[in-house]
Amino acid sequence: MLFSSVSLVFCKSTKKTVFPIFIYEIFCIFVVMKYEVTIGIPVYNVEKHIRLAMDSALAQTFESIEFLICDDCGTDHSMDIVREYQQSHPRGKDMRIVCQPHNMGIGAGRNRLVDEAQGRYFYFLDADDTIEPNTVELLYNAAHQYQAELVYGSYERIETFDETERRIPSSYPAMQFLEEDSFANYVYSKYDGIQATIWNILIDINVYRKNSLRHQCINYWEDFTFTMDLPTYVTRVVLLPDITYHYYCRYGSLSQFEKRDLIEKQEIQKTINAVNIIKINSNRIREKSYFPRRIFKVMKTDFYIVCSVFRHEDIIFPSFTNKELHDTMRSPITLKDILAFRQARLSNMLLYSFWLLPTPVSVFCMRVFAKVIK
């Protein structure tokens, strides 16, 4: 905890230009950064899956790894299993456990892991997923080759529903972004061009600390609120086509609405609230060339949420009112802003019209569009 506290002081001081950036970097290299990479694993009630995750993490071919586990005060035996590995595994000496004072949620857990990390690079692994043995080695080598701040590995989605397994690969093209704003322009130019999750990205720890980045302490779409902003803080980024991560979607997952018999309205409302955070954060980048496309991507996300409500309204309880659906499309910008756009003007106008129209007309039009794009 001492290391993280001191490093945060340096971060805050750096932002006020009390200490030059290079002094902070030298401090991190010689005092804080004992490892090349920290794998951060937040743990909460994953007793059934934690062994697979730990086995895959500890089997890494890369040597200089800190295995940092955040105990978020679950009620099962997950942490007993982690401590068993710490005591018996050959790499147990490189395992460190940090404990939350009480259950604080995934966002707070991620922040704690970043604060405590002693690696130059950081990598999140969810405690119910697995990684390839050479995952860290591949990403680290790419980071060094291109002096990259972020390296994204490709991943495989494994759906395990109804005792069947379906594997869906999601591979990036081999790409390097080495100029200012080039990665942000790429991310915001397409709706699903980059993952909305924070795992399977090797991140230069200074991206967090120089920019005082924090994960939102919310239970839904915490990753999305972070990854939507992340491209605006970096210049040098690499995408790798190699499958390095296995993401498991199991029955009962809150993100798998189509497999549910009942969806609580509050789940969807929390998702809408997460998008609202992104809308507020958009004001910081108003002068950037990618701002119009960023706004379109955010508002398109809201529109897809409304469409999902239409598709599942028979199992959502309680129901959404027309006003609530209309208010979901509240825009963070004005019509005057959109008319001044040089890019994505018409697409932004279309989504803005759902907010501009009277509530009954707006909801009727969105329902029609939802059927078309189904």
CA–chain centroid gap for 299, Å, is 18
11: pLDDT confidence band, cut at 50, 70 and 90? very low
At 203, is the pLDDT very low, low, confident or very high (cuts 50, 70, 90)?
A: very high
| pLDDT tens-digit readout, 168-194 | 999 999 999 999 999 999 999 988 889
Q: Where are the alpha helices (DSSP H) in the chain?
A: 2-15, 21-27, 50-58, 78-88, 106-116, 135-146, 182-188, 205-211, 222-227, 265-281, 291-311, 322-328, 335-339, 345-356, 359-373
- Kindly report the pTM of this predicted structure: 0.88
Cα–Cα distances (Å) from 24 to 9, 20, 27, 76, 87, in that order, read 10, 7, 5, 40, 34
Compare 33 and 69 and report the one with higher pLDDT: 69
- Which pLDDT score, from 0 to 100, does residue 19 have? 44
CA separation for the pair 40, 114 (Å, rounded): 8
pLDDT exceeds 90 at position 135: yes
Q: Report whether pLDDT(253) > 90.
A: no
- Backbone φ and ψ for 62, nearest 5 degrees, come out as -75, 140
What's the whole-number average pLDDT of the chain?
A: 90
DSSP result, 9-28: HHHHHHHTTSS-HHHHHHHI
Confidence of residue 250 (pLDDT cuts 50, 70, 90): confident
Q: Is 31:3 a contact under the CB 8 Å cutoff?
A: yes
Q: Which residues contact 33 (CB under 8 A, 6 or more apart)?
A: 118, 119, 120, 205
Structure confidence by residue, pLDDT tens digits, 329-338: 999 999 999 9
> For residue 122, which phi and psi values (nearest 5 degrees)?
-125, 145
The secondary element (H helix, E strand) that includes residue 120 is strand 119-124
Contact 104, 31 (CB under 8 A): no
- In this predicted model, what pLDDT tens digit does every residue of 274-286 receive, in sequence order? 999 999 999 999 9
pLDDT digits (tens, 9 = 90+) for 323-363: 999 999 999 999 999 999 999 999 999 999 999 999 999 99
What's the CATH fold of domain 33-250?
A: Spore Coat Polysaccharide Biosynthesis Protein SpsA; Chain A (3.90.550)
Q: Please choose, from the candidates 194, 214, 361, 364, the residue with its C-alpha nearest in 3D space to the C-alpha of residue 293.
A: 194
**The tokens 């790419």 sit on which residue?**
142
* Segment 285-320, tens digit of pLDDT: 999 999 999 999 999 999 999 999 999 999 999 999
Would you place residue 9 in the very low, low, confident or very high pLDDT band (cuts 50, 70, 90)?
very low
pLDDT tens digits for 222-234?
Answer: 999 999 999 999 9
Q: Compute the distance between CA of residue 52 and CA of residue 127 in angstroms, rounded to an integer.
A: 8
* pLDDT over 50 (residue 21): no
Q: Quick one: pLDDT band at residue 16, thresholds 50, 70, 90?
A: very low
pLDDT of residue 13: 35
Please state, in angstroms and rounded to a whole number, the distance separating the CA atoms of residues 260 and 374: 18
User: Domain residues of the chain, as ranges?
Assistant: 33-250, 261-373
Q: What is the pLDDT of residue 26?
A: 52
Question: For residue 259, what pLDDT is reported?
Answer: 60
For residue 330, give the DSSP letter: -
The three-state (H, E, C) secondary structure of 290-321, written as one string: CHHHHHHHHHHHHHHHHHHHHHCHHHEECCCC
Which of 329, 318, 335 lies closest to 363, judged by CA? 329
